[in-house]
Amino acid sequence: MRWLEIIIYTHKESTEAIAAKLLALGAGGVSLEESWLWEQAKKDS
């Protein structure tokens, strides 16, 4: 899903803010791709 990349790369926010956004979007089950992108986002912050 590309929306996760959009959230990560268009918003210069804390990891907590990104997590809150994901929860707000109802991201319950994340795919392997999403999990990998999430790990990269945490490393970059």
Q: What does the pLDDT look like over 6-34, one tens digit per residue?
A: 666 666 667 777 777 777 776 555 565 67
Instruction: Return the DSSP state at 45.
Output: -
Domain that holds residue 28: 2-44
Question: Do the Cβ atoms of 21 and 9 come closer than 8 Å?
Answer: no
* Per-residue pLDDT at 18: 73
What is the pLDDT confidence band of residue 39, given thresholds at 50, 70 and 90? confident
Do residues 15 and 42 lie in contact, with contact meaning Cβ atoms separated by under 8 Å? yes
Verdict on whether the full-model pTM lies above 0.75: no
What total number of domains does the chain contain?
1
